[in-house]
Structure 1
């Protein structure tokens, strides 16, 4: 065996060197991939991500409200908006007029923190329904992260997606809210003397009266029956 190794030492050295070289290349590739994944994870944990959507109100399904939310893990800075219809129809213009009344669509926003949501306005779909339900609204938004990296996104909202949308019953949170409001109103009325609490009081006088009636019934039950009412004797 030793003689074989000595005789083929050159070839074995080449093979071993090749294996080491291949292992080094594979290790370098894996290290590069790990570094790339780490960089992506770091970016995902620090970059903002804005979301713009029209959503039905919990209180009334025909009310569509505009929601602007930072769903990323980092803050967004210097947010600017551009809103237009695609195409620019009467229905699209009416929706844009309703939901962009806030001044932020003119002056922009300086900052939106992670998970923060802003609701800017609403449109009533029962007005100009046919025109609005066919509208397409586009929101182009630009913003920066903490290191001034710029992002630009476009959100295209097709109102026809809301066709046939219905709501059954009262939303749970809305029902709880209304019940709490009624309870609060009742407590306020009692506290301010607007209404008096109806209370049935069981006093000592009532207890004495009830005791006397009970004693009377006991005495009547204890008296012997009259002879006229007594059953005849049988001989």
Structure 2
């Protein structure tokens, strides 16, 4: 009986020692993974609204790891549920910068690079798609890179433009911001057109000959001044009228040069 009890205790001791050794081994593996994660690069790609305007959209490429990423390569493709033609136009805008097409040699830890931006206030025809088509677009971006020990890494990111619909600035939604900026842009264009027309009218008045209507208006003004002078019993000899020196037109200058 005593021998069986000793054997049972020895078995339990062996099992406990084995469990402790296994737990130590698992802890060593986890610590190794943790140390590796703390010393390897991690490249993240996300959609970002630029701080200058809520209608300027770009991609932000960041190294969130604790070591530099080397020889970065980017590959873009359309998501299966997106309009392929619109997605290609969006990709063309994002990849205008050279490093987005040909890759990046070095990205230090904590550093970020930015793609070209999509301007949602730009003319739809010049951009190739409208705001609704842009928000319905989803891209897949694959990035490949190495660490300083030549270990290879890769990751894919799904960039869904419709996630911007929930973005806001100081109480205003993304759509409201775009509409407001479009209104401001339209108003600026109207003001610019009005000022240009006013400048053109003044320029023509100075550089062209008198029209019949302008002569009649000038004559009516002179008659009014004469009537005022006569009512005040002023001598008409002392009344002086300002002469308007008109600059010759281009055609008149050409005639003089001949």
In structure 2, do the counterparts of structure 1 residues 126 and 94 end up closer, same or farther at CA, with 3 Å as the change threshold? farther
Does the Cα contact within 8 Å between 1:94 and 1:132 map onto a contact in 2?
no
In the other structure, the counterpart of 1:154 is: 156
Matched, 1:68 2:80: no
2:108 aligned partner:
113
Query: In the alignment, which residue of structure 1 is the partner of 2:93?
Result: 98
Q: Spell out structure 1 runs of 4+ moving beyond 4 A.
A: none
Give the counterpart of 2:121 among 126, 131, 154: 126
2:141 matched residue in structure 1: 139
Q: Which string of whole-angstrom CA distances, capped at 9 and with x for unpartnered residues, describes residues 107-159 of structure 1?
A: 21111111111112211123421221111121111111222221111111111
> Taking structure 2 as the reference length, what is the TM-score of the superposition?
0.58
Q: 1:20 aligns with which of 13, 28, 34?
A: 13
Contact 2:100–2:115 (CA under 8 A) maintained in structure 1 = no
Change (3 A) 1:39 1:131: same
Query: Unaligned 5+ residue runs, structure 1?
Result: 1-7, 171-235
Residue 41 of structure 1 corresponds to: 34
1:75-94 to structure 2, matched below 5 A, reads 75-86=68-79, 87=82, 89-94=84-89
Q: Is the partner of 1:65 in helix, strand or coil?
A: strand
Query: Which of 40, 43, 53 is residue 50 of structure 1 equivalent to?
Result: 43
Question: How far 1:93 sits from its partner (Å)?
Answer: 2.3
Following TM superposition, by how much is the alpha carbon of 1:104 offset from its aligned partner in structure 2, in angstroms? 1.2
Structure in which a larger fraction of residues adopt helix: 2
Shift of 1:88: 5.0
Pairwise CA RMSD of aligned residues? Answer: 2.0
Query: Is the 1:47–1:145 contact (alpha carbons within 8 Å) kept by the matching residues of 2?
Result: yes
The Cα of 1:16 is off from its aligned counterpart by 2.7
